[in-house]
Amino acid sequence: MFTSLSDRLTDTFRHLRSKGRITESDVNSTIRDIRVALLDADVALPVVRHFTGAVRERALGAEVHEALNPAQQVVKIVNDELVTILGGETRRIAFAKQPPTVIMLAGLQGSGKTTLAGKLAYWLKDQGHTPMLVAADLQRPNAVTQLQVVGERAGVPVYAPERGNVSGYDAAIESRSGTQGFGDPIAVARQGVEEARRQQRDVVIVDTAGRLAIDEALMRQASDIRTAIDPDEVLFVIDAMIGQAAVETADAFQRGVDFTGVVLTKLDGDARGGAALSVAQTTGRPIMFASTGEGVKEFEVFHPDRMASRILDMGDVLTLIEQAERAFDRRQADEMARKFMAEEDFTFDDFLQQMAAIKKMGNLKSMLGMMPGMNQMRDAINALDEREFDRVEAMVRSMTPFERTHPKQINGSRRARIARGSGVQVSEVNALLERFTEAQKMMRQMRRGGGMPGMPGLPGGSKKGKQAPQRKKGKSGNPAKRAEQERAAADKAKAAKGNAFGSAFGADGAGGADGAGFDASQLPKGFDSFLGR
């Protein structure tokens, strides 16, 4: 969504970092580039003026001139102001003290309200709540049926006493009441809340009707539903791809319905993303959630600080960590840690478990995009074929249990059988086995505390220039001194393994079971901020 804006800002800051000292002319040039980038991204003009004015005021002040690295300080200022216009702080759902919590969805037709209702219900269910959907959109053809399908996918019940519009009646010639005889959406919404209370559901999500454009009937119906059910949250669902029209639409709904929060949909699209940078600033209402794809799981809480980091190509490591924590089973992680410490080899069964966890995390390209500096590798990421994972999984599942745990025993005839069973060429099976052997070697080297092989700048990695071979100390002929040397060598190996365990499996403090400490000085510069140290 923010590809174009991110590229423009990255180029601007790259030019700024090449300067050792920043003058007023440099600041003005940077502000001009930022203004053009924001306007090109369809950000509303009042928001652009406010943003660039705030950046200019801080950049020309003592805050930058007294900084050791003025260019980095300007980037920090831009990041801070981006966070501000995106809402400042993360806004959570305000749950009712007395259940059920009633959430009403409002927005134009085509913004993705019905699909969003299912995603929100699935997310709430994953958080331990018991949501129920209410089909109060009786105007759009087959909206009730769509909500029932979405609810089934999310595993959430749907209250739908009325079938709604199933004949495709033209909304342009609707009756004055706006119901066309398909049922009363106000009554359905009210009954849905009562049904949720009777079933002891703690959250009710009411899907309301939209229009192709803002009109009096739409606002009157939405206002009447709000009055009838007295919702705890009214979420305005807006298509992030509509650009400048987002501000006008948001203002109209704010006056007509007075929503409490915003949900952005279609953030996975290739539009310029101005809506996301405009709505929160112009309406004063926070962006609470974002829909990042078509799947029911592709939905996330909107964090202004993390979104600002994505726009500035600084990544979103925290969201990536949260997704990993949800996807990776703790028991499996403990088993992997045990095998690592026991010096057991990584097997294809372990590989299958890791692949399943990665798939559970969501879209691989999206995950790679959360890593810092990945904008420079966008073409390679876009060229990534995620179906390759399916082919690799097919090859592994074509192996027998014995072959998965003893890959070295897979001879030519076995490779041919695996290729036939998975529908690939024998050369692809050979390549998989070669990569797997390299992965096993890497795990062994990490276990010895040697770090990642072939990675410059990391412990055990390749370094420029040849190093003189270290001369091994000879063993003492004195039995007591020799025993002391062997004990010291064992302690050193134990500490190295503990450090490798801590870095590989995220062990806290003592480096796992062996009590070896974790050395943050080995991390890349600035990365320790993510560890909360």
DSSP string, 24-72: HHHHHHHHHHHHHHHHHTT--HHHHHHHHHHHHHHHTSHHHHTSSSHHH
Q: Give tens-digit pLDDT for 324-362.
A: 666 556 666 666 666 666 666 678 887 777 777 766 666
State percent of the chain over pLDDT 70: 66
Evaluate the CA torsion angle 169, 173, 177, 181 in order and state its sign: negative
Cross-sheet strand order for the sheet of 233-239: 158-159, 131-135, 203-207, 101-106, 233-239, 261-265, 287-291, 299-301
Q: Give tens-digit pLDDT for 376-408.
A: 565 665 666 667 778 888 898 899 989 888 888
This prediction has a pTM of: 0.62
Q: CA separation (Å) from 15 to 3, 29, 310?
A: 19, 10, 19
- Asked if pLDDT for residue 36 goes beyond 60, the answer is yes
* Average pLDDT of the segment spanning 61-89: 76
What residues form the annotated binding site for GTP?
A: 107-114, 207-211, 265-268
* Average pLDDT of the segment spanning 87-108: 89
Rounded distance, CA 2 to CA 5, Å? 5
- Asked if pLDDT for residue 317 goes beyond 80, the answer is no
Q: CA separation (Å) from 318 to 159, 267, 473?
A: 37, 19, 45
> Given phi > 0 = left and psi -120 to 50 = alpha, else beta, which region is 437?
alpha
Those residues whose C-beta lies under 8 Å from the C-beta of residue 473, and which sit 6 or more positions away, are 485
* Average pLDDT of the segment spanning 187-207: 92
Q: CB of 522 within 8 A of CB of 531?
A: no
Q: How confident is the model at residue 464 (pLDDT cuts 50, 70, 90)?
A: very low
Continuous segment of H or E residues that includes residue 134: strand 131-135
Task: Tell me which residue has tokens 């807006």.
Answer: 238
- Asked if pLDDT for residue 31 goes beyond 50, the answer is yes
User: Among residues 276, 398, 390, 404, which one has the least CA distance to residue 349?
Assistant: 404
Supply the DSSP symbol for 232.
S
Rounded distance, CA 416 to CA 389, Å? 20
What residues form the annotated binding site?
A: 107-114, 207-211, 265-268
Task: Give the count of beta carbons closer than 10 Å to the beta carbon of residue 428.
Answer: 18
- Asked if pLDDT for residue 314 goes beyond 90, the answer is no
Q: What is the pLDDT of residue 521?
A: 46
Task: Show the domains of the chain with their CATH numbers.
Answer: 3-85 (1.20.120.140), 101-314 (3.40.50.300), 320-447 (1.10.260.30), 487-531 (no CATH)
- Asked if pLDDT for residue 286 goes beyond 50, the answer is yes
Rounded distance, CA 3 to CA 384, Å? 17
User: Long-range contacts made by residues 500-508, C-beta under 8 angstroms, separation at least 24?
Assistant: 500/340, 500/446, 500/447, 500/448, 500/449, 500/450, 500/451, 501/337, 501/340, 501/341, 503/446, 504/340, 504/446, 505/333, 505/336, 505/337, 505/340, 507/337
Torsion of CA 301, 305, 309, 312, to 10 degrees: 120
Rounded distance, CA 299 to CA 301, Å? 7
Q: Give tens-digit pLDDT for 504-528.
A: 444 444 444 343 344 444 444 444 4
